[in-house]
Structure 1
Amino acid sequence: MIHQYKNNGYNIVLDVNSGSVHVVDDLVYDMIELYETNEKESIISRMLEKYRESGVEIEDIHEAFNEIEQLKEGGCLFTEDIYEKYIVDFKKRQTVVKALCLHIAHDCNLACRYCFAGKGEYQGDKAYMSFEVGKKALDFLIAQSGSRKNLEVDFFGGEPLMNFEVIKQLVQYGRDQEKKHGKNFRFTLTTNGVLLNNEIMEFLNKEMSNVVLSIDGRKEVNDYMRPSRNDKGSYDLIMPKFIQMAESRKQTDYYVRGTFTHFNLDFSKDVLHLADMGFKQISVEPVVSKEEEPYAIKEDDLPKIMEEYDILAREMIRRNREKNGFNFFHFMLDLSGGPCVAKRLSGCGSGTEYLAVTPWGDLYPCHQFVGNEDFLMGNVFEGVQKTEIRDEFKLCNVYAKEKCRECFAKFYCSGGCAANSYNFHGTITDAYDIGCELQKKRIECAIMIKAAESE
């Protein structure tokens, strides 16, 4: 499978199955487009006609044709899909849990308008995870991790810092268990920053491998979508803390993470605002919500959003060349190696390798399924009881989704989010269409940035 596109003056050819990326001239670009469906003589004739006034000679066309054939023989163009055979054994493979999302607090001190968790309460009652439940969750993770050494635990909410004392206790318990079981815990935390202070920052810098700091960008954008419970803005309170936090972590191992909506389709300005405030690790993502919500991304918004990604990509190239660059999460792409085959095919591992734990210990496939009783898998005391849910998620991969099979982006997005698929189509083996279009655009921009860096 070949994907061709033009962006920012670059002619880019992606060989999907090998992952090879080629930046080519106009002649080669046009010839590759015709290669699989036309005879050689027909291609030569058409190129002579098209480039008659450009000084292209028949020898140039023959040379280009030979280069294309050499790339094909070298496994860099028109390669076959060797990955589908791996899917056969996916359901048979042993389930090893490697990561948990601990819902340490079903409560929040903000009232974000787009919150999928219903202001932190997940359409239920306020609740806080006890140390006993959290301890049992870590025990469950250790027991289900098999021979895997590195384990991940994300403290999530609501706002997790509303239950900070239990976080500290669980981290200490986890560190104690590392020595006993030969494991290594990688703790992470997502916070809105309201409760951050020097004591908490010191603890996070010592114990958290990564910290996600939630802010939507410009003051007016953030304060409209992320107000406090008394409808006051949060920007002025959290921005100084986030700047301090990022600097204290030496601008690594964190993200400022925002959400853009229909109300700020010019979101590149929010990304660049965060960069201008000194942040080097930035993620601003499109809201995912019901279509009837006024802030929802609409299909009519897509052209503007695509344009914004192009603006952002060009500006990132300029800043990188001026040694004033930053990382944008959705443009970060490893073309030399990247994820393993299983990761490329099945994504985040929700429902199998990755589970969410409620404050009372129930297990769900991921944080976005919490509260949907159809996806309640078990609990940390008795383990996974509904193995049929786990088996269903084992088969959630790019070959189980018709929309993914012929999509050039499938090995980069791994089929997209199962929760988004379910929420929009009632099945985890479909795909959220608007999200797909945006993901494809981000991948194209990310590859273009790599092309610019290679010059």
Structure 2
Amino acid sequence: MVHQYKNNGYNIVLDVNSGAVHVVDDVVYDVIPFMEKGEPDENIVSSLKEKYGIEEIEEAVSDCRELKEAGFLFTEDNYKPSIEAFKKRPTVVKALCLHIAHDCNLACRYCFAEEGEYHGRRALMSFEVGKQALDFLIANSGNRRNLEVDFFGGEPLMNWQVVKDLVEYGRSQEKLHDKNFRFTLTTNGVLLNDEIMEFCNKEMANVVLSIDGRKEVNDKMRPFRNGSGSYDLIVPKFKKFADSRNQEKYYVRGTFTHENLDFAEDVLHLADMGFKQVSVEPVVASPEEEYAIREEDIARICEEYDKLAAEMVKREREGRGFTFFHFMIDLTGGPCVYKRLSGCGSGTEYLAVTPWGDFYPCHQFVGEEEFLMGNVFDGIKREDIQEEFKGCNVYAKDKCRDCFARFYCSGGCAANSYKFHGSINDAYDIGCELQRKRVECAIMIKAALAEESEE
């Protein structure tokens, strides 16, 4: 399977199954569709000779055949025949999302967690519940040494002492069990102070700082409960925090909606303030919400991604580049085969834990009682849910089988699929369209910078 597209002046060809990317001239670009269909050489020459010279066409065909023989073009799908064995693979738990606080001090309009309540009640996780969760992770991680724990909410800093106590407990267990904890934290920044920053710089491998971009955008979507905006309070803290981490191992993370389809301006606003690690993602919301992304928004959003990609290339060349999370792509190594086929590992390798200790496949399923899997005291009781998620992969989804981006998005988000289609083995259609565009832009950026490096 081959995917071809033009972006910012580049003719790009992606060989989907091998992952090989080719930047080609016009002749090769036009030859490839004929070759993919298996057309004889004389048909290719006959079809293109009015546009190109015969020798040019023949040379392009020859070049493509060499790439095919080398395994970089028109390659076969070697994963599909092994998918049944893949579904039966043994798995261990390697990551937990601890809902340290089902409460929040902001009232974000698009919050899927209902200001931290998650369809339930406000609560803070006790140390005992968190300790039991870490013990469960250690006991169910098999031979895996590196374990991940994300402190999530609501707003985790509303339960800060328990966060610190759990980190201390986790560190005390590392040598005893030959494990290494990678702790992360997501915060809205309202309660950030110097003591918290110092602790995080010592103990947190990554920190996500929530902000939507420009002041007017952020304050409209991320107000306090009294309606006042949060921008002026959090920006100085976030700047200080990012600098204290040497502009590494963090993200300022925002959400764009139907109401700010010019979101590239929000990304650039954050970059212009000095943030080097930026993520601004499309909201996922029910169609009846006024801020929800709609089908008619897709073309505009794709234009914004193109605009942003071109500006990022320009800034990188000028020595003032920054990282945009959704344009990150590894064309030389990348994730392992398991991750390419099945994504985040929700429900199998990754679980969310409520303040009272219940297990769900991930934070977005919390409160959906049909996905309650067990608890930290009794373990996993619904192994059938685990098995269902273990079978979730790009070949289980009709929409993924012929999609060129399937090995980059790994089938998309199971929670979004469930919310829009009632099944984890479907796909959120708007999300798919935007993901495909982001992959194209990410590859273009790599191509542009690689070309400059060669020059």
Q: How does 1:36-185 map to 2 (within 5 A)?
A: 36-37=36-37, 38-51=39-52, 57-185=53-181
Counterpart of 2:299 in 1: which secondary structure?
A: helix
After superposition, the C-alpha distances for 1:3-36 in whole angstroms (9 at most, x for unaligned) are: 0000000000000000000000001000001112
Counterpart of 1:221 in 2: which secondary structure?
A: helix
Counterpart of 1:121 in 2: which secondary structure?
A: coil
Q: Does 1:401 align with 2:402?
A: no
Distance 2:206 2:244 in 1: 13
Distance 1:19 1:196 in 2: 42
What is the aligned partner in structure 1 of residue 3 from structure 2?
A: 3
Distance 1:84 1:138 in 2: 36
Letter in 1 for 2:407: F
Counterpart of 2:267 in 1: which secondary structure?
A: helix
Which of 273, 279, 285 is the aligned partner of 1:283?
279
Distance 1:354 1:270 in 2: 31
**Post-superposition offset of 1:93:** 2.0
Letter in 2 for 1:19: G
Letter in 2 for 1:60: E
What is the aligned partner in structure 1 of residue 193 from structure 2?
A: 197
What is the aligned partner in structure 1 of residue 433 from structure 2?
A: 437
Distance 2:361 2:197 in 1: 30
Which of 253, 256, 263 is the aligned partner of 2:252?
256
Letter in 1 for 2:361: P
Distance 1:16 1:92 in 2: 25
Q: Contact between 2:27 and 2:56, CA under 8 Å: does it hold in 1?
A: no
Distance 1:118 1:91 in 2: 34
Structure 1 vs Structure 2: percent identity of aligned residues?
75
**Post-superposition offset of 1:94:** 1.9
Counterpart of 2:384 in 1: which secondary structure?
A: helix
Letter in 1 for 2:380: V
What is the aligned partner in structure 2 of residue 26 from structure 1?
A: 26
Distance 2:441 2:84 in 1: 33
**Post-superposition offset of 1:49:** 1.3
What is the aligned partner in structure 1 of residue 381 from structure 2?
A: 385
Counterpart of 1:351 in 2: which secondary structure?
A: coil
What is the aligned partner in structure 2 of residue 228 from structure 1?
A: 224
Distance 2:73 2:91 in 1: 35
Distance 1:232 1:309 in 2: 31
Consecutive unaligned residues in structure 2, runs of 5 or more? none
Distance 2:325 2:82 in 1: 28
Distance 1:403 1:444 in 2: 18
Letter in 2 for 1:378: G
Counterpart of 1:396 in 2: which secondary structure?
A: coil
Letter in 2 for 1:42: N
Q: Contact between 2:351 and 2:360, CA under 8 Å: does it hold in 1?
A: yes
**Post-superposition offset of 1:413:** 0.2
Q: Does 1:448 align with 2:444?
A: yes
Which of 250, 253, 267 is the aligned partner of 2:263?
267
Consecutive unaligned residues in structure 1, runs of 5 or more? 52-56
After superposition, the C-alpha distances for 1:353-401 in whole angstroms (9 at most, x for unaligned) are: 0000000000000000000000000001111110000000000000000
Give the TM-score normalised by the residue count of structure 2. Answer: 0.98
Letter in 2 for 1:130: S
Letter in 2 for 1:50: K
Distance 1:402 1:93 in 2: 22
Distance 2:57 2:261 in 1: 44
Distance 2:243 2:276 in 1: 10
What is the aligned partner in structure 2 of residue 297 from structure 1?
A: 293
Letter in 1 for 2:194: N
**Post-superposition offset of 1:90:** 2.9
Q: Which runs of 4+ in 1 moved over 3 A?
A: none
Give the TM-score normalised by the residue count of structure 1. Answer: 0.98
**Post-superposition offset of 1:79:** 0.2
Q: How does 1:235-254 map to 2 (within 5 A)?
A: 235-254=231-250
After superposition, the C-alpha distances for 1:153-197 in whole angstroms (9 at most, x for unaligned) are: 000000000000000000000000001000000000000000000
**Post-superposition offset of 1:276:** 0.2
